[in-house]
Amino acid sequence: MPLPRRSSAKAVALSRTAPRRDLFEDEARFLRSWFERPLVTGAVTPSGRMLARTMASYVDPRVPGPVIELGPGTGPVTDALVRRGIEQERLVLVEYNPDFCELLRRRFPRATILRGDAYRIRETLRGVVDEPACATISSLPLLTKPLEQRLELLQGAHELMQANAPFVQFTYAVAPPIPERSSTYTASRSNKVWLNLPPARVWVYRRP
């Protein structure tokens, strides 16, 4: 009897350390990717759990249609979407980094994962999204791009979505990723997510 108890305790200990080990490995992947392509990755660590949960909260799982995620990285926001009740089959993930794509395929085997340029969203998703999406979630480093390109991405995403569907974007900056005066979209923002490192804010853009 003592041996099974020790084995059980060991299994519990391993199950508790596995998520922490995955977190450390994801941070190492992000840091390596940032050093190699800082303007593409845009962050040195994955989104924290609270930020990912905040972004996912703007997606209503009761609304039908695919959910598009741009720049999912290692999948923290993807995981938050699944925990919120979005089936993997509804997820369309667009990621530029091939190593991240491989990791996402292992973690979310029933999702549609595309290696492509999210800023060319029309071309990347042509023939893939066959019905209006209910939301687009973006972790792209928008502020590294000219405003014209940001606006083109926002317009392209809304062309693929239902009316009044949210385009959800987080930023570490004080300024919004897309200035309200520069577009015809309505914009709202979350409170600052202080538990994320660094602290971040979520902006939501909808087409009236």
Question: Mean pLDDT for each 10-residue chunk of the chain (208 residues)?
Answer: 44 42 55 51 62 97 98 95 98 96 97 97 95 97 94 96 97 90 86 89 93
pLDDT at 92: 98
Rounded CA gap, 139 and 42, in Å? Answer: 9
Nearest 5 degrees, angle CA 133-CA 128-CA 170? 50
Of 173, 167, 198, nearest in space to 185 by CA: 167
Report yes or no on 20 lying in a domain: no
Report yes or no on 66 lying in a domain: yes
Supply 155's token pair: 């317009």
Give the CATH number, domain containing residue 163: 3.40.50.150
pLDDT at 48: 86
pLDDT at 180: 77
pLDDT at 73: 93
- Do the Cβ atoms of 95 and 73 come closer than 8 Å? yes
SS3 113: strand
Report yes or no on 2 lying in a domain: no
| Domain limits for position 188 | 38-206
Kindly state the helix (H) or strand (E) to which residue 136 belongs, with its residue range.
strand 135-138
Rounded CA gap, 68 and 87, in Å? Answer: 12
How many structural domains does the chain have?
1
Strand partners of residue 113: 93
pLDDT at 59: 98
Residue 160: CB atoms within 10 A of its CB come to: 21
Report yes or no on 116 lying in a domain: yes
SS3 132: coil
Report yes or no on 31 lying in a domain: no
pLDDT at 196: 85
- Do the Cβ atoms of 77 and 139 come closer than 8 Å? yes
Cα-Cα-Cα-Cα dihedral of 161, 164, 168, 173, to 10°? Answer: 130
pLDDT at 109: 98
Rounded CA gap, 115 and 124, in Å? Answer: 9
Supply 114's token pair: 């595309």
